[in-house]
Amino acid sequence: MSEPQSPPTRPSPTRPSPTRRDVLVAAAVTGAATMIPTALYAAAGEGAIRPFLVNVPDEALADLRRRVGATKWPKQETVADASQGVQLATMRKLALYWQTAHDWRKVEARLNAWPQFMTEIDGLDIHFIHVRSKHENALPVIITHGWPGSIIEQLKIIDPLTNPTAHGGSASDAFDVVIPSLPGHGFSGQPTTTGWDPQRIARAWTVLMKRLGYTRYVAQGGDWGDAISEQMAVQAPPELLGIHTNMPATVPDEIARALQSGGPAPSGLSEEEKNAYDQLDFFYKHGLGYAQEMANRPQTLYGIEDSPVGLAAWMLDHDARSYALITRVFDGQAEGLTRDDILDNVTLYWLTNTAVSSARLYWENKLAFFAPKQLTIPVAVSVFPDEIYAAPRSWAEKAFPKLVYYNRLDKGGHFAAWEQPGPFSAELRAAFRSLRA
Span 371-388, average pLDDT: 96
| pLDDT range class, residue 263, cuts 50, 70, 90 | confident
Residue 3 reports pLDDT greater than 90: no
CA distance 23 to 178: 23
Whether residue 26 is predicted with pLDDT greater than 50 in this model: the reply is no
Is residue 12 over pLDDT 60? no
Distance between CA atoms of 257 and 284, rounded to whole angstroms? 12
253 HSE (CA, 13 A, CB side)? 2
Calculate mean pLDDT across residues 59-88: 96
Confidence of residue 77 (pLDDT cuts 50, 70, 90): very high
Q: Which alpha helices (DSSP H) does 136-197 contain, by range?
A: 158-162
Share of the chain above pLDDT 90, in %: 81
Give the pLDDT confidence score for residue 407 in this predicted structure.
Answer: 98
Average pLDDT over residues 286-313: 95
For residues 234-253, average pLDDT: 98
Q: CA-to-CA distance for 186 and 199, rounded, in angstroms?
A: 20
pLDDT exceeds cutoff 70 at 271: yes
pLDDT at residue 1 is higher than 50: no
**What mean pLDDT do residues 234-247 have?**
98
16 pLDDT above the threshold of 70: no
Output the pLDDT for position 320: 53
How far apart, in whole angstroms, are the C-alpha atoms of residue 387 and residue 395? 16
Q: What is the mean pLDDT of residues 120-147?
A: 97
Residue 153 has pLDDT above 90, yes or no: yes
The pLDDT score that the predictor gives to residue 328 is 72
Q: In the prediction, which pLDDT does 286 show? A: 87
Asked if 278 contacts 266 with a C-beta cutoff of 8 angstroms, the reply is no
- Arithmetic mean of pLDDT over the chain: 89
Burial of 29 (0-12, 13-18, 19+ CB in 10 A): exposed
Q: What is the mean pLDDT of residues 407-412?
A: 95
Q: What's the pTM?
A: 0.90
Residue 82 is predicted with a pLDDT of 86
Most confident range (mean pLDDT) of 26-30, 299-303, 320-324 is 299-303
40 pLDDT higher than 90: no
> 154-184: per-residue pLDDT in tens?
999 999 999 999 999 999 999 999 999 999 9
C-alpha distances in Å from residue 81, one per residue of 72, 90, 124, 280: 22, 11, 43, 21
Q: Evaluate whether 63 touches 300 at the Cβ level (below 8 Å).
A: no
Burial of 77 (0-12, 13-18, 19+ CB in 10 A): middle
pLDDT number for residue 45: 66
Instruction: Assign 28 a pLDDT band (cuts: 50, 70, 90).
Output: very low
- Side chain identity at residue 305, one-letter code: E
| Residue 131 reports pLDDT greater than 70 | yes
Contacts of 274 (CB under 8 A, 6+ apart): 265
